Amino acid sequence: MKKTIALAAIVAAAGLANADTLVIDVSGLESWDFQGDANNMIMSVMLGAGSTISNIAWDVNLTTFGVSWAEENTMGFFGNSEVVTPGFGDAFTVSNANYSGSQASSIVIDGSGILDIEAYEVGFDDNIDDIDSIYEAGSTVTISGTFVPTPGSLAVLGLGGLVAGRRRR
């Protein structure tokens, strides 16, 4: 009887949203053209439908190409509802320059459960149909908020609890 209650508690707890922090490695993310261009790279992160993001922090190493400036590089989150411009104010080219900071956010993830992060250029596209900038090795974005587990992850947690309960017998 105690085992059944413990397993039910694990499954029930798995269904609750968790205040959480997630570090995303954006190394290699390239910016090519203006927002929405097919050449730009987009990272998709599964957070779960109804998840919220309350803060976005970044610690990135940026390199620009040609005559592209650091301040033109932008990361748009969730369809551009939040924007981060790590090199804001640096109207010059950079090579592996470090930028860090954070900003409050109010993103609510829709039914897809996916957070998209697009790297793109703003202001002027210096290298048309060619790479303008890249986030070098060690570049990270940290998002904080309340992440809601997806039904698939709940099922895995529930099955894990059942297997753990079965092995005890």
**Residue type for 73, please?**
N
DSSP class of residue 102?
Answer: E
Kindly tell me if the per-residue pLDDT of 5 is higher than 50.
Answer: no
**90-to-69, 93, 132 alpha-carbon distances in Å:** 7, 8, 15
CA atoms within 13 A on the CB side of 102: 9
pLDDT of residue 152: 53
**Pairing relation of β-strands 140-147 and 52-64?**
antiparallel
DSSP class of residue 148?
Answer: P
Q: What is the pLDDT of residues 75-110, one digit of tens each?
A: 999 987 899 999 999 999 999 999 999 999 999 999
Burial class (CB in 10 A: 0-12, 13-18, 19+), 52: middle
At residue 17 the predicted structure's pLDDT band, cuts being 50, 70 and 90, is low
Picking from 165, 122, 166, 153, the residue whose alpha carbon sits closest to that of residue 16 is: 153
At residue 149 the predicted structure's pLDDT band, cuts being 50, 70 and 90, is confident
Q: Greatest CA span in the chain, whole angstroms?
A: 69
- The SS3 of residue 38 is coil
Residues 58, 84 contacting (CB under 8 angstroms): yes
- The SS3 of residue 85 is coil
